[in-house]
Structure 1
Amino acid sequence: MAVCIAVIAKENYPLYIRSIPAENKLKFHYMVHTSLDVVEEKISTVGKALVDQRELYLGLLYPTEDYKVYGYVTNSKVKFVIVVDSSNTALRDNEIRSMFRKLHNSYTDVMCNPFYNPGDTIQSKSFDTMVSGMMLQAC
């Protein structure tokens, strides 16, 4: 079950964070921000190894006792982080990839909105509905 989904700007500030249950909101904010160090490390090692690498999915960033944190980075260096409950063993790597693709497509729709100012927090109802659906679908 996805318990937290976050969109982080190129400059490492949150554009969107949604987590369930709501009482652990601060815990998930901390978990997302600590994962950014791993994301930066993976981006720098991939950038040195293969300059023309088009793989946006970073895979498992780190596991904890209760959660697994996955990462994805766009070509414009916007980062997506999904925190999944460790007890959900039915969730496979290709399902995580499809969740990130769906999140990226919805983020692109938000960016194409002429009333959205890039860099502002995402307050789109359709984006929020899509994220809620992803969190419930992953249950």
Structure 2
Amino acid sequence: MAVCVAVIAKENYPLYIRSTPMENELKFHYMVHTSLDVVDEKISAMGKALVDQRELYLGLLYPTEDYKVYGYVTNSKVKFVMVVDSSNTALRDNEIRSMFRKLHNSYTDVMCNPFYNPGDRIQSRSLWSG
């Protein structure tokens, strides 16, 4: 499964970043921010094709020795970045797409909340209950 999930605003500042091994949190933040350059390259390479197609999934952005970084961009240019453990070889591309679709649906639910101010950090109540 994913070890880090990030939602990045159109202006490239983080709205939400959560990683599971807390001792490597800074490492995952760095990976997410460095992946934004690759996301921008892929978006500019697609150009108008991205607008014409409905394909929002960017695929594998880059692999490292221990992790694989995947990307997804919404129509409003909000970016989702997911870091997955490389040792999980059973994880297929369509499963990654499915996780991004679920994340996108959750993000849409947050944006539809009348009490959320667009641009503020996204917080999860379930993570604060502990």
Identity of paired residues, percent?
92
- Stretches of structure 2 that go unaligned for 5 or more consecutive residues are none
Distance 2:71 2:50 in 1: 19
Deviations 1:61-101 (A, max 9, x none): 00000000000000000000000000000000000000000
Determine if contact 1:70/1:81 at 8 Å carries over to the other structure. Answer: yes
Cα separation, partners in 2 of 1:123 and 1:66, compared to 1, 3 Å: same
Alpha-carbon distance, 1:50 to partner:
5.9
Q: SS at the partner of 2:58?
A: strand
Q: SS at the partner of 2:10?
A: coil
Distance 1:77 1:45 in 2: 15
Determine if contact 2:50/2:56 at 8 Å carries over to the other structure. Answer: no
Q: SS at the partner of 2:99?
A: helix
- State the superposition RMSD in angstroms: 1.2
Alpha-carbon distance, 1:123 to partner:
1.3
Deviations 1:13-72 (A, max 9, x none): 000000010010000000000000000000001115565122100000000000000000
Determine if contact 1:46/1:53 at 8 Å carries over to the other structure. Answer: no
Q: Which residue of 2 aligns with 1:2?
A: 2
Taking structure 1 as the reference length, the TM-score comes to: 0.87
Determine if contact 1:70/1:83 at 8 Å carries over to the other structure. Answer: yes
Moved over 6 A (4+): none
Cα separation, partners in 2 of 1:58 and 1:50, compared to 1, 3 Å: closer
Q: How many residues align?
A: 126
Determine if contact 1:62/1:68 at 8 Å carries over to the other structure. Answer: yes
- Stretches of structure 1 that go unaligned for 5 or more consecutive residues are 127-139
Cα separation, partners in 2 of 1:50 and 1:7, compared to 1, 3 Å: closer
Deviations 1:95-130 (A, max 9, x none): 00000000000000000000000000001326xxxx
Q: Which residue of 2 aligns with 1:82?
A: 82
Q: SS at the partner of 1:30?
A: helix
Determine if contact 1:110/1:124 at 8 Å carries over to the other structure. Answer: no
